[in-house]
Amino acid sequence: MEISTKRHSLSHIMAQAVKSIYPEVKMAIWPDTDTGFYYDFDFGEIEIKEENLKEIEKKMKNIIKQNQIFEYVPKSVDEGIKFLKNMWEIYKVEMAEDLKAKWETSLGFYKNISQKWEEMFIDMCAGPHIEKMSQLDENAFKLEKIAWAYWRWDSSKKMLTRIYGLAFDTREELENHVKMMEEAKKRDHRILGKKLKLFTISDLVWAWLPLFQPAWMIIRKELENYLWELHKNHGYDRVCTPHLAKEDLYVTSWHAGHYLEDMFSVYGWTSKEKFHLKPMNCPHHMQIFADNQFSYRDMPVRYFEPATVYRDEKTGQLSGLTRVRSITQDDWHLFCRIWQIKDEVRLITDIIKKFYATMWMLDNYWVSLSVRDEEDKSKYLGSDEVWQKAEWALEEAAIANELPYKRIPWEAAFYGPKLDFMFKDCLGREWQLATIQCDFNLPERFNLSFTNEEWNPERPVVIHRAISGSLERFMWIIIEHFAGLFPTWLSPRQVIIVPVADKFDDYAKELNQKLKALDIRASVDYSTDSLNKKVRNAETSKYNYVLIVWEQEIADNTVSVRNVKTKEQTTEKVEDFINKLSDEIKNRVL
């Protein structure tokens, strides 16, 4: 039996438990998730708290012990709406009426039947569900937390209470997941980011426009340098575009028609024109291409811009660096011919693999071939012919490059299909990071062309691609992936020198200058703290190496080295340590 069916059934059981304890509660939506389930409720004037979850969970287990049976009850759409109105389930009524407007003629309901009439429960649901509750392990689920969500994700509608649950096939799987979550809390990027002075959140600036401190900028620069190093010998050129543009640009690109509610608008009081902060770089890059006279000999043309874009994300979706309103993309756009797509995808894939191998995240990755929703084509730009051509080209490239891909409907960008690379961090959590997107539409809308062999204009294909995605989101992931102790090449704090007493300060200073001259990020702890406390502070601050110096080290021109990651302690000649460290940084050793 699919775990998703068990999770969905548990959301139904949770609703039954909540209604038995709080009969006046109104029910909303109830999906399963990758790790469990949730249900949105309107508790009205009732104040629900985390401590109430124990009572609800206990009630759920009592229901499961009764081994109730899920019985499917079909109703005509009008009969179903009348039934829901009699139950005063206003949110279900709204959903049922929406289904009726889409020409649905029937509705599904599931009834939980037990020997006790008072335990009977019925809910509108398409299913599927388990047959009977003995198929569930009552020790393999737990209620996790309370959150809040607007009804239908619309901030103008009522805020509902969302109860989350975790559910797995076995108790062992649940316990392992809970342990992973506890470890994730220790690695929380919001806590470590503040503690390590990586970024600052200021309400005076705006909570979702993070300010990045010097330590962050070191990491960002190292990432940018590495990304450029992976591309610079493959025909890429750097470009730079402004942070805003006239609305006309986004009308042409169709962002204004499809994306307007997520864009920031700016009115020019002098120019009397309407502008938008750019939500993406691609329309700007189209203009750079259009201003050149390219021939088939120039193709592919490849641009790179690590630029900040701006999106008016919904407040409920914003948290730490997980989703912010200023987004720095490692944005790459290339313009090529159709027959070049396969080779370009191969090159990009090779770069992606090398980048994520360096990050220690390449194991068990897979690729989502994200295609459009065939049932609702209105939200996509371009004709059926263009989409078929784009999806075929990308799938052929995925096959030719032996990518472990799955075809996923509904996940395409509005302008074209894409290959989304899914990587796991050290805790086994899966993230969509790199992407390759195939676009036949924007070149059409901007009337882009180059001269082919017959001296005729030919339309290029645009490939949008990102390796890390947004640097803010990627930073969140790697803070937690490395628990703040970054690989030495990436670390803003590589070495700290600890003189045991102030009479060794001169030697520590001399050593520090020698390291800095080689661009090694080093500092000295001149405080009067004890040696043990200095070492503890260094480890808490996530230095990679602690160098301890006193009389013997001065006499022998050595350092006592503590590797914070491995806890290994050695005594080494200064030059040997520097050479080894330089090689570690140069080769980006983990």
The answer to the question of residue 260 being in a domain is no
pLDDT of residue 590: 84
pLDDT of residue 52: 95
Q: How many CA atoms lie within 13 A of 585 on its CB side?
A: 22
Are residues 40 and 84 located together in one domain of the fold?
Answer: yes
- Token output for 96: 């049922």
Residue among 513, 541, 397, 509 nearest 461 (CA): 397
How does DSSP assign 507-522, residue by residue?
A: HHHHHHHHHHHTT--E
Which is catalytic among the residues 19, 42, 276, 282? Answer: 282
Residue among 335, 338, 349, 461 nearest 398 (CA): 349
Which is catalytic among the residues 16, 329, 437, 494? Answer: 329
Domain that holds residue 85: 3-186
- Say how far apart CA 164 and CA 146 lie, in whole Å: 6
The answer to the question of residue 270 being in a domain is no
The answer to the question of residue 411 being in a domain is yes
Are residues 520 and 443 located together in one domain of the fold?
Answer: no
The answer to the question of residue 194 being in a domain is no
Are residues 522 and 438 located together in one domain of the fold?
Answer: no
pLDDT of residue 584: 97
Which is catalytic among the residues 231, 276, 285, 464? Answer: 464
Are residues 318 and 422 located together in one domain of the fold?
Answer: yes
Which is catalytic among the residues 311, 521, 542, 562? Answer: 311
42 tagged catalytic: no
Are residues 366 and 512 located together in one domain of the fold?
Answer: no
The residues, any chain, with a CB within 8 Å of residue 383's CB and separated by 6 or more, are: none
Are residues 232 and 360 located together in one domain of the fold?
Answer: yes
Helix (H) or strand (E) holding 346: helix 341-358
Are residues 181 and 224 located together in one domain of the fold?
Answer: no
- Given its phi and psi angles, is residue 306 left (phi above 0), alpha (psi -120 to 50 degrees) or beta? beta
pLDDT of residue 378: 75
Q: Parallel, antiparallel, or unpaired: how do β-strands 366-370 and 405-408 relate?
A: parallel
Are residues 419 and 549 located together in one domain of the fold?
Answer: no
pLDDT of residue 117: 47
Which is catalytic among the residues 276, 302, 418, 493? Answer: 418
Are residues 503 and 545 located together in one domain of the fold?
Answer: yes
406 tagged catalytic: no
Q: pTM score > 0.85 for this model?
A: no
282 tagged catalytic: yes
Domain's final residue, options 421, 447, 481: 481
105: domain CATH number is 3.30.980.10
406: domain CATH number is 3.30.930.10
177 tagged catalytic: no
Domain's final residue, options 452, 481, 510: 481
The answer to the question of residue 124 being in a domain is yes
Q: For the chain, first and last CA: distance in Å?
A: 41
How much of the chain is in helix, strand and coil states, percent to nearest 5?
40, 25, 30
Are residues 307 and 439 located together in one domain of the fold?
Answer: yes
500: domain CATH number is 3.40.50.800
pLDDT of residue 475: 94
Are residues 175 and 308 located together in one domain of the fold?
Answer: no
CA separation, residue 90 to residues 33, 104, 200 (Å):
24, 19, 43
The answer to the question of residue 338 being in a domain is yes
Residue among 447, 357, 350 nearest 397 (CA): 350
What is the tens place of the pLDDT at every residue in 296-321?
999 999 999 999 999 887 765 667 78
- Looking up tokens 């390796």, which residue turns up? 467
pLDDT of residue 21: 95
Low-confidence ranges of the chain (pLDDT < 70): 1, 115-119, 315-318
pLDDT of residue 308: 93
329 tagged catalytic: yes
- Say how far apart CA 588 and CA 590 lie, in whole Å: 6
Radius of gyration of the chain, Cα coordinates, nearest whole angstrom: 29
Which is catalytic among the residues 32, 40, 331, 425? Answer: 331
Q: Looking at the 3D structure of the chain, how many domains does it have?
A: 3
Which is catalytic among the residues 333, 372, 465, 534? Answer: 333
311 tagged catalytic: yes
Are residues 466 and 550 located together in one domain of the fold?
Answer: no
323 tagged catalytic: no
